[in-house]
């Protein structure tokens, strides 16, 4: 990064209990050591790991602001301690200290937060993926129709990939029909659409209208020829090619289903107009199989999926997060609400998107944006048992080449993947009471010399620090993160260089 001349203000006041007063000198750290590097923050619970992260985030933000460089920082906030003021800690949330440069996401509505949930009507593939994973783990999935929903794919056909326009049009029509059926399932599951989303659009060919039958058509006195029959059917059932509300679409699907059951609807080539998947979806919409057996898919999915859906949600949260990082913002993803699986899949989806974009930049020989990631409980993401080819380990391992730095916290350094631990450039080690954990750390640099101190010194915030550019481990008392002080420093930071150096 081009901000190498700027120093961190992790000022380290020595702790009177552990280090003699005459050693009481401020310590500063070079930000170059952190960007595109791995930093491990190790220590037992309540020894000051999160405090270290807060200080680091604020310092990086201040340095970047001074240097007029965009550094996006992304915090996966498992406990909600970075995003929310905590009474116990004098409201020491980052959001308070860095003001408008902090963007917060949450899985529940809250003033000042963006919605982490998807809008299922917009975010079709992500929503479908969630819905299918929920269905896969539910006993309701054994029904043949539920299996059709599990098989459903909603990838919009790309025109450029079709040489033949007619084939593209046909693929697009099939896609639109499936999307309409899928949205009808969402609607029947009780997912509230926003005003904009209360609309489906698909095509029913004239040949299909002509075959529509049922009592609602019997009042036609003038249906002696095909065109008037088509026109009448269109008038009675509506024409979704101009768009119709979800409620009307459900009514239309009801007619289509009963017509199809009576006599299979055929397309212009004489083939079934509804394929197996579409018939399965149609049955799910009305909660009944072809054989008349009750299907409880929408009843089961409704409550489960509702927790993941928000009409005010984005169509692509990971993309939005990435964009804010490119803009140099601090993005805090508050994962303290929602289920374990929501947490996992949301953070994974965002991390995966970042990795993908970074790889794209590299493939196109563009400089990727500078991004710092902060993760807690790191042993779950980059642990011994994690496959090194999956998202989190890849970000940790290959991040350096992609301008991505990672700060990871854990109480169990021995559970971190040995390959990642061995490639960690910066260490912050507070108190560890377990011989095995102390030994793990002792294998790096001159940490062995600090073995007893690590094991015995329980002072909160007292940390042994080894950074890339420093030759030795330095025992240091990290300052307590105080939002009011940080805010003053941050607000006063002025760009010294008018040129935006990165983005
Ligand atoms: N350097 C420090 N000086 C003074 N107080 C501190 C310092 N670091 C942390 N604290 C205080 O100690 C408490 C625990 O700190 P923190 O939450 O950072 O610990 P942690 O190691 O992240 O804990 P956990 O493992 O539970 O996440 C907080 O109340 C915090 O304000
Ligand atoms: Mg913590």
- The per-residue DSSP string of 226-294 comes to HHHHHHHHHHHH--GGG-B-HHHHHHHHHHHHHHHHHS--B-TTSSBSS-HHHHHHHHHHTTB-TTS-B
Q: Would 410 be classed as within a structural domain?
A: yes
Question: Which pLDDT does position 16 carry in this prediction?
Answer: 44
Question: Which pLDDT does position 499 carry in this prediction?
Answer: 46
Q: Would 444 be classed as within a structural domain?
A: yes
Which of 284, 305, 326 is the C-terminal boundary of a domain?
305
For residue 73, report the distance from its CA to the centre of ligand 2, in Å: 17
Considering the domain architecture, whether residues 279 and 335 belong to the same structural domain is answered as no
Instruction: Give the residue with greater pLDDT, 216 vs 166.
Output: 166
Residue numbers of the domain that contains 365? 29-79+314-480
Considering the domain architecture, whether residues 198 and 341 belong to the same structural domain is answered as no
Question: Which pLDDT does position 219 carry in this prediction?
Answer: 64
Burial of 229 (0-12, 13-18, 19+ CB in 10 A): buried
Q: Which residue is closest in CA terms to ligand 1's atom 26?
A: 45
Ligand 1 contact, 46 CB (< 6 A):
yes
Pick from 326, 400, 315: nearest CA to 125: 315
Say how many C-beta atoms besides its own lie within 10 A of residue 498's C-beta. Answer: 6
Q: Would 341 be classed as within a structural domain?
A: yes
Q: Would 50 be classed as within a structural domain?
A: yes
β-bridge partners, 373: 74, 406
Give tens-digit pLDDT for 33-78.
999 999 999 999 999 999 999 999 999 999 999 999 999 999 999 9
At 46, list the tokens. Answer: 């309540």
Considering the domain architecture, whether residues 318 and 281 belong to the same structural domain is answered as no
Q: Would 103 be classed as within a structural domain?
A: no
Residue 289 has pLDDT above 90, yes or no: yes
For residue 80, report the distance from its CA to the centre of ligand 2, in Å: 10
Please, which residues have CB within 8 angstroms of residue 107's CB and are 6 or more apart in sequence?
Answer: 115, 116, 117, 334, 335, 337, 338, 342, 346
Question: Which pLDDT does position 89 carry in this prediction?
Answer: 53
Considering the domain architecture, whether residues 266 and 329 belong to the same structural domain is answered as no
The band of 14, judged by pLDDT with boundaries at 50, 70 and 90, is: very low
Give tens-digit pLDDT for 255-268.
999 999 988 999 99
Over residues 172-177, the mean pLDDT reads 97
The band of 13, judged by pLDDT with boundaries at 50, 70 and 90, is: very low
For residue 412, report the distance from its CA to the centre of ligand 2, in Å: 13
Which ligand lies nearest to the CA atom of residue 374 in the structure?
2
The band of 88, judged by pLDDT with boundaries at 50, 70 and 90, is: low
Considering the domain architecture, whether residues 292 and 385 belong to the same structural domain is answered as no
Considering the domain architecture, whether residues 428 and 456 belong to the same structural domain is answered as yes
Residue 250 has pLDDT above 90, yes or no: yes
Considering the domain architecture, whether residues 389 and 413 belong to the same structural domain is answered as yes
Give tens-digit pLDDT for 393-435.
999 999 999 999 999 999 999 999 999 999 999 999 999 999 9
Which ligand 1 atom is nearest residue 41's CA? 21
Give the whole-angstrom CA distance, residue 181 versus residue 38: 47
Considering the domain architecture, whether residues 255 and 342 belong to the same structural domain is answered as no
Ligand 1 contact, 318 CB (< 6 A):
no
Q: Which residue is closest in CA terms to ligand 1's atom 25?
A: 45
* β pairing state of 462-466 and 426-429: antiparallel
Q: Would 128 be classed as within a structural domain?
A: yes
Which ligand 1 atom is nearest residue 48's CA? 18
Give the whole-angstrom CA distance, residue 372 versus residue 71: 7
Q: Residues within 5 Å of ion ligand 2 by Cβ?
A: 49-50
Structural domains counted in the chain = 2
Give tens-digit pLDDT for 95-104.
889 999 999 9
Q: What is the CATH number of the domain that holds 386?
A: 3.40.50.300
Give the three-class secondary structure for 324.
helix
Considering the domain architecture, whether residues 249 and 325 belong to the same structural domain is answered as no
Best probe residue, ligand 1, of 13, 48, 58 (max atoms within 8 Å of C-beta): 48
Instruction: Give the residue with greater pLDDT, 134 vs 428.
Output: 428
Q: Which residue is closest in CA terms to ligand 1's atom 9?
A: 48
Give the whole-angstrom CA distance, residue 412 versus residue 446: 19
For residue 91, report the distance from its CA to the centre of ligand 1, in Å: 13
The band of 312, judged by pLDDT with boundaries at 50, 70 and 90, is: confident
Best probe residue, ligand 1, of 83, 460, 486 (max atoms within 8 Å of C-beta): 460
Which ligand 1 atom is nearest residue 411's CA? 25
Best probe residue, ligand 1, of 26, 42, 43, 46 (max atoms within 8 Å of C-beta): 46
Ligand 1 contact, 51 CB (< 6 A):
yes
Q: Which residue is closest in CA terms to ligand 1's atom 16?
A: 48
Q: Would 111 be classed as within a structural domain?
A: no
Considering the domain architecture, whether residues 371 and 456 belong to the same structural domain is answered as yes
In this prediction, what percent of the chain has a pLDDT beyond 90?
69
Q: Which residue is closest in CA terms to ligand 1's atom 4?
A: 480
Summary mean pLDDT of the chain: 88
Question: Which pLDDT does position 431 carry in this prediction?
Answer: 96
Which ligand lies nearest to the CA atom of residue 46 in the structure?
1
Give tens-digit pLDDT for 427-482.
999 999 999 999 999 999 999 999 999 999 899 999 999 999 998 999 999 989 99
DSSP 177-229: HHHHHHHHHHHHTTPPPPTTTS-B-----HHHHHH--SGGGTT-SS-SSHHHH
Best probe residue, ligand 1, of 19, 50, 77 (max atoms within 8 Å of C-beta): 50
Question: Which pLDDT does position 87 carry in this prediction?
Answer: 53
Backbone angles phi and psi of 224, in degrees to 5:
-80, -25
- Stated length of the chain: 503
Angstrom distances, CA of residue 188 to CA of 62, 192, 237: 50, 10, 19
Considering the domain architecture, whether residues 438 and 343 belong to the same structural domain is answered as yes
The band of 308, judged by pLDDT with boundaries at 50, 70 and 90, is: confident
Q: What is the pTM of this model?
A: 0.81
The band of 8, judged by pLDDT with boundaries at 50, 70 and 90, is: very low
Q: Would 259 be classed as within a structural domain?
A: yes
The band of 25, judged by pLDDT with boundaries at 50, 70 and 90, is: confident
Residue 211 has pLDDT above 50, yes or no: yes
Question: Which pLDDT does position 302 carry in this prediction?
Answer: 86
Q: Cβ distance 266 to 256 under 8 Å? A: no
Considering the domain architecture, whether residues 264 and 292 belong to the same structural domain is answered as yes
Residue 9 has pLDDT above 80, yes or no: no
For residue 488, report the distance from its CA to the centre of ligand 1, in Å: 22
Our separate counts of H helices and E strands in the chain read 17, 10
Which ligand 1 atom is nearest residue 376's CA? 27
Question: Which pLDDT does position 102 carry in this prediction?
Answer: 97
Say how many C-beta atoms besides its own lie within 10 A of residue 221's C-beta. Answer: 8
Say how many C-beta atoms besides its own lie within 10 A of residue 78's C-beta. Answer: 19
Ligand 1 contact, 410 CB (< 6 A):
no
Ligand 1 contact, 480 CB (< 6 A):
yes
For residue 464, report the distance from its CA to the centre of ligand 2, in Å: 17
Please count the CA atoms within 13 angstroms of the CA of 458 that sit on its side-chain side. Answer: 4
Ligand 1 contact, 461 CB (< 6 A):
yes
């Amino acid at each position: 990064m081009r901000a190498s001349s700027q120093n961190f203000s992790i000022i380290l006041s020595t702790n009177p209990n552990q280090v003699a007063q005459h050693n009481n000198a401020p310590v500063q750290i070079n930000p170059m050591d952190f960007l595109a590097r791995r930093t491990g923050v190790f220590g037992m619970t309540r020894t000051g790991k999160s405090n270290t992260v807060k200080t680091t985030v604020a310092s990086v933000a201040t340095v970047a602001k001074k240097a007029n460089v965009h550094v996006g920082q992304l915090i996966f906030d498992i406990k909600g301690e970075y995003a929310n003021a905590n009474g116990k800690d004098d409201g020491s949330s980052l959001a308070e200290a860095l003001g408008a440069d902090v963007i917060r996401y949450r899985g529940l509505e809250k003033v000042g937060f963006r919605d982490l949930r998807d809008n299922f009507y917009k975010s079709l593939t992500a929503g479908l993926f969630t819905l299918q994973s929920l269905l896969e783990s539910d006993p309701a999935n054994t029904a043949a129709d539920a299996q059709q929903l599990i098989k459903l794919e909603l990838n919009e056909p790309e025109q450029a990939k079709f040489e033949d326009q007619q084939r593209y049009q046909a693929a697009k029509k099939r896609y639109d029909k499936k999307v309409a059926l899928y949205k009808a399932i969402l609607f029947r599951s009780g997912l509230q659409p926003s005003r904009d989303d209360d609309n489906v659009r698909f095509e029913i060919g004239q040949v299909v209208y002509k075959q529509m039958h049922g009592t609602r058509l019997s009042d036609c006195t003038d249906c002696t020829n095909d065109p008037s029959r088509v026109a009448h059917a269109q008038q009675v059932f509506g024409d979704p090619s101009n768009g119709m509300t979800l409620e009307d679409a459900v009514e239309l699907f009801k007619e289509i289903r009963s017509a199809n059951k009576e006599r299979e609807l055929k397309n212009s080539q004489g083939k079934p107009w509804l394929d197996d998947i579409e018939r399965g979806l149609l049955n799910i919409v009305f909660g009944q199989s072809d054989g008349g057996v009750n299907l409880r898919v929408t009843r089961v999915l409704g409550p489960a999926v509702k927790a993941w859906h928000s009409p005010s949600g984005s169509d692509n949260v990971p993309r939005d997060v990435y964009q804010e990082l490119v803009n140099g913002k601090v993005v805090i993803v508050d994962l303290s609400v929602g289920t374990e699986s929501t947490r996992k899949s949301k953070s994974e989806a965002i991390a995966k998107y970042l990795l993908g974009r970074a790889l794209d930049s590299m493939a196109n020989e563009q400089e990727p944006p500078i991004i710092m990631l902060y993760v807690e409980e790191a042993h779950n993401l980059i642990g011994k048992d994690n496959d090194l080819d999956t998202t989190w380990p890849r970000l940790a391992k290959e991040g350096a080449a992609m301008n991505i730095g990672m700060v990871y916290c854990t109480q169990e350094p021995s559970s971190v993947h040995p390959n990642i631990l061995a490639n960690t450039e910066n260490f912050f080690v507070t108190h560890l009471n377990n011989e095995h954990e102390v030994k793990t750390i002792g294998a790096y640099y001159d940490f062995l010399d600090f073995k007893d101190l690590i094991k015995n010194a329980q002072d909160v915030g007292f940390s042994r620090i080894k950074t890339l550019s420093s030759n030795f481990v330095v025992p240091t008392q990290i300052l307590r993160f105080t939002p009011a002080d940080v805010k003053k420093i941050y607000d006063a930071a002025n760009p010294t260089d008018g040129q935006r150096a990165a983005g």
